[in-house]
A and B are shown apart, each in its own frame.
Chain A
Amino acid sequence: MSAKPFLRIDNIRKRFGPIVASDGVSLEIEEGEIHALLGENGAGKSVLMSMICGMVRPDEGEIIYRGQSVRFNSPREAIRQRIGMVHQHFMLVPNLTVAENYILGQGSALKVINDMDKVDAKIRELSDRYALDVRPDAIIEDLSVGEQQRVEILKVLFHGIDLLILDEPTAVLTPQETDRLLALMGDLVKDGKTVVFISHKLDEVMRVSNRISVMRDGRVVHTVNVGETDARGLARMMVGRDVGMELPRSPSAPGPLVLSVDNLTCRGETGLPAVRGVSLDVRAGEIVGIAGVSGNGQTELSLALSGLLPVDTGRVVLNGKDITGLGPARINASGFSHIPEDRHKHGIVMSLSLGENTILQRYDQPPFAARGMLNRRAIGEHTRDLIKRFRIKSRDENQRIGDLSGGNQQKLVVARELARNPDFILVNQLARGIDIGAMEFVMEEMLKQRDSGKAILLISTELEELFAICDRILVMCHGEILGELPPERTRLDELGLLMAGKRADVVQPPLAS
């Protein structure tokens, strides 16, 4: 290690009330490296990075940057020292344009507004240089998650940085977008920048980083060069045991038909057709996967199934009952659970407690309510039970869910949806942001649900996730189901072709009636 590292974190402590988020953490980052940060949900990765970029102030300890002890009181001060961060939850104003978002909160915003042409030009130049494909006049809410991600990255580049921190940048990206991002990280390093990035995906960590640090319980417990270990070793460092990459599972025994979708069409938010004649069946005791590049109608399909988007034509039948266009309340009551794609938009209410988020659908049903009043004892008991079973790292059931780490929020959503004892579970991105240990647990839980006779539809852009637990995989492209495959890795090429929209002869037609 060089005598004077680029950035040195020395024995930092940070507590939130009784919770110790950083417990004397130390870490060194060298100039020009890609440094990956791993760790279980709630290990303290986001908090540590937030302290480097001025979002959160440490209680104790020192940050030494280019040989000088620094203390940032705001992200703006950190940016001024050329340190920028892209957060796990995007921080863009949805109804403003890209350029407007960039100048927002700059002290000189008023001055800049007269110079919008220059701002636009700078955005275009950076966008071209790093092939980010960002238009300065695009409105944020019209952009896909992947595009927003690039907008966030360009935002920090726009302000000029030498150290870029990315908090789980790939959690919401498709494999293609991920490849692109990893390439971008390489380009940035070539331009003399340093990158720190947090991820739960070991393969991409192995692919791009120079060094890897593993956090546990608020401390960095290992730092290794990338050549010195493998994914298995990393997993063991993270969770302290071997994590099975292959889940043991019995062959499925499909029972009666639970969900049947017949020739469903619906339009997206923009009014353009998004789902175009989708037919599919899910039986009790099977997990059906839908693979596809995101933006091919999966979002709209899941919203339409759960009653959040109007259905144009077609029918959705659940347990023999026509639920087409019934609205979420009655669909939920028909034994329908939904783990949504966008947990911050649909899945949780950030400023409410864990307990309140647990009863989001059942707030007026016994045992959580009696004679119109909430039963706090029952809510507390139920939530504590879920916290224990799903190992959700939290203070207690009264903690604000927004203060939980990202992965722990997702675990609560999964726990809540399974606890409602549904017949059918719609899952759109199961493992978004949860660590490998928790992922294994959640997948096992899904298999258990399957074996107990539930019907599960798993929409995912993660092929690993699909291969691990699905009994058959449908491929969706341009709003249509193009074909069906068994979940065998040997047919990966075929899957790739289908996802790109090319029908191959070998492909069986979809199972729909």
Chain B
Amino acid sequence: MEQVNQGVRENVYPQAAQALYRTLSQAAISAVTPIAAVLVALAFGATLLWLNGFDGTDVVTVMIFGSFQDTRSVAEILLKATPLILIGAGLCVAFRCSIWNIGAEGQLYVGAIAATFVGTSIDGLSVWVHAPLVMLAGALAGAAWAGIAGYLKVRFQASEIVTTIMLNYIAIILTSYLVTGPMKDASAAYPQSARLVREAWTPRIVSDMRLHIGILVAVVLAVALYIFLQRSSRGFALRVVGLNPHAARYAGMDVRRNVMIAICISGALAGLAGAFEVAGVTHRLYQNISPGYGFEGIAVALLANNNPLAAIISGGLFATLRSGSEVLQITSQVPQVLVLVIQGMVILSVVAFAKFRDKFRFVA
């Protein structure tokens, strides 16, 4: 009976329909697994909260939906999503090239430093010039900072995992030094830089909300990087280098050059994220300009399965969880540690599901 059915099905659907069915089912699998992963993690989180004497489902609901109260809170989520999407999408490029850039945090900091420098030391430019100049400075600084690790890798085979982590420390300490020393605002008691001139600020989308055009830039860049990776010749070479460097060399691709390009792209986006934090949010450089966006960006890329387009969604998700946990801390007794544990569970669960997906592909 079943066989008869199968035969009929094959005859009814022509090849084109089968191809469409295949594409759709593949898309469904790749979209469903991260969502399922997040749901499973949140279910575990709820259980964990319940074991600790909290109303688990209630807390998780607050975590996801609590921050969607009004436009303003949605705008705050998008504000947090901006650096996460930028860094996540940039890291997708590096990871696809098999470069384990753990240094987005440091690249963000040097981007912020460069942006602050350009935003405080120049005056009298129009906003049309000055604001983009600040972004450019951030991106270039981030790319250069990542480029150091890239150079050490291609020249001396130094592991980028080690060098980028070291460069993180240097960047963060350098920032502390600058805001307590050379770049310190003389009139302020706290370690902070002078305020950026108004023309250097990233324009806001609506004047009475902090959300700035950085979110649009982030989304556009993520889409552009997706096209770059999937459709451009250079993106193809990056992927081949990442998948099989021997074959890349055989084919005449310059492995070192591609490694440099990939790591610099990821650094540029992290640097740009740093520029937006300064020019769009704080307008000054502080010691702790980033609450760990550079590290969370790694999870964003991971959840997106190194697909920059999906990094828009996963960046948004992590921003939501982050906002939700802030709401939680204000409105409930749940300790922040538990919230962090839940975030960690999301990441773990995503990794586990990715494994499952690969297995599924092999068997099916």
Residues of A at under 8 Å CB distance from B?
16-18, 56-57, 306, 308, 327-333, 338, 340, 345-352, 356, 359-361, 363-364, 369, 372-374, 376, 396
Residues of chain B with a CB closer than 8 A to A330's CB: 252
In the assembled complex, the Cα of A363 lies from the Cα of B236 at a distance in Å of 8
Stretch at the interface among B36-44, B99-107, B238-246, B340-348: B238-246
Contact of A308 with B247 at beta-carbon distance under 8 Å, contacts A329-B254, A372-B233 already known: no
Q: Mark B6-35, 1 if CB is under 8 A from A, else 0.
A: 000000000000110010000000000000
Shortest C-beta distance, A21 to chain B (Å), equals 13
- Interface: B251 (CB within 8 A): yes
User: In the bound complex, do residue B250 and residue A56 qualify as a contact, i.e. CB atoms below 8 Å apart?
Assistant: no
- Interface: B113 (CB within 8 A): no
User: In the bound complex, do residue B243 and residue A373 qualify as a contact, i.e. CB atoms below 8 Å apart?
Assistant: no
User: In the bound complex, do residue B233 and residue A374 qualify as a contact, i.e. CB atoms below 8 Å apart?
Assistant: yes
- Interface: B363 (CB within 8 A): yes
Shortest C-beta distance, B152 to chain A (Å), equals 22
Residues of chain A with a CB closer than 8 A to B240's CB: 349, 352, 360, 363
Other-chain contact of B243, A352, A369, A372 (Cβ < 8 Å):
A352
Shortest C-beta distance, B241 to chain A (Å), equals 10
User: In the bound complex, do residue B250 and residue A364 qualify as a contact, i.e. CB atoms below 8 Å apart?
Assistant: no
Residues of chain A with a CB closer than 8 A to B19's CB: 396
Residues of chain B with a CB closer than 8 A to A332's CB: 251-252
User: In the bound complex, do residue B231 and residue A373 qualify as a contact, i.e. CB atoms below 8 Å apart?
Assistant: yes
In the assembled complex, the Cα of A21 lies from the Cα of B253 at a distance in Å of 35
Other-chain contact of A345, B234, B247, B254, B364 (Cβ < 8 Å):
B247
User: In the bound complex, do residue A361 and residue B252 qualify as a contact, i.e. CB atoms below 8 Å apart?
Assistant: yes
Interface of A is mostly: loop
Contact of A360 with B251 at beta-carbon distance under 8 Å, contacts A17-B22, A372-B233, A372-B234 already known: yes
In the assembled complex, the Cα of A242 lies from the Cα of B243 at a distance in Å of 41
Q: By CB atoms of chain A within 10 A, which of B18, B236, B240 has the most?
A: B236
Interface size on B, residues (CB 8 A): 23
Shortest C-beta distance, B353 to chain A (Å), equals 19
Chain B residue at minimal CB-CB distance from A303: B250
User: In the bound complex, do residue A308 and residue B250 qualify as a contact, i.e. CB atoms below 8 Å apart?
Assistant: yes
Residues of B at under 8 Å CB distance from A?
18-19, 22, 231-234, 236-237, 239-240, 243-244, 246-247, 249-254, 363-364
User: In the bound complex, do residue A352 and residue B233 qualify as a contact, i.e. CB atoms below 8 Å apart?
Assistant: no
Contact of A352 with B250 at beta-carbon distance under 8 Å, contacts A56-B363, A372-B232, A372-B234 already known: no
Contact of A373 with B254 at beta-carbon distance under 8 Å, contacts A57-B363, A352-B239 already known: no
Residues of chain B with a CB closer than 8 A to A18's CB: 18
User: In the bound complex, do residue A373 and residue B232 qualify as a contact, i.e. CB atoms below 8 Å apart?
Assistant: yes
In the assembled complex, the Cα of A347 lies from the Cα of B249 at a distance in Å of 10
Shortest C-beta distance, B324 to chain A (Å), equals 36
User: In the bound complex, do residue B247 and residue A347 qualify as a contact, i.e. CB atoms below 8 Å apart?
Assistant: yes
Residues of chain A with a CB closer than 8 A to B243's CB: 349-352
User: In the bound complex, do residue B22 and residue A346 qualify as a contact, i.e. CB atoms below 8 Å apart?
Assistant: no
User: In the bound complex, do residue B232 and residue A374 qualify as a contact, i.e. CB atoms below 8 Å apart?
Assistant: yes
In the assembled complex, the Cα of A349 lies from the Cα of B233 at a distance in Å of 16
Shortest C-beta distance, B29 to chain A (Å), equals 13
Shortest C-beta distance, B271 to chain A (Å), equals 24
Shortest C-beta distance, A59 to chain B (Å), equals 11
Contact of A328 with B18 at beta-carbon distance under 8 Å, contacts A364-B233, A374-B233, A374-B236 already known: no
Shortest C-beta distance, A416 to chain B (Å), equals 10
In the assembled complex, the Cα of A356 lies from the Cα of B237 at a distance in Å of 10
Chain B residue at minimal CB-CB distance from A402: B362
Contact of A340 with B233 at beta-carbon distance under 8 Å, contacts A17-B22, A352-B239, A352-B243 already known: no
Shortest C-beta distance, A14 to chain B (Å), equals 11
In the assembled complex, the Cα of A330 lies from the Cα of B249 at a distance in Å of 12
Chain B residue at minimal CB-CB distance from A18: B18
User: In the bound complex, do residue B253 and residue A329 qualify as a contact, i.e. CB atoms below 8 Å apart?
Assistant: yes
| 17 CB-based A-B contacts, threshold 8 Å | A306-B250, A327-B252, A328-B251, A331-B252, A332-B251, A346-B247, A349-B244, A356-B236, A360-B250, A361-B252, A363-B240, A372-B234, A373-B231, A373-B232, A374-B232, A376-B231, A396-B19
Residues of chain B with a CB closer than 8 A to A396's CB: 19
In the assembled complex, the Cα of A327 lies from the Cα of B257 at a distance in Å of 14
Shortest C-beta distance, A60 to chain B (Å), equals 9
Shortest C-beta distance, B94 to chain A (Å), equals 18
In the assembled complex, the Cα of A47 lies from the Cα of B22 at a distance in Å of 22
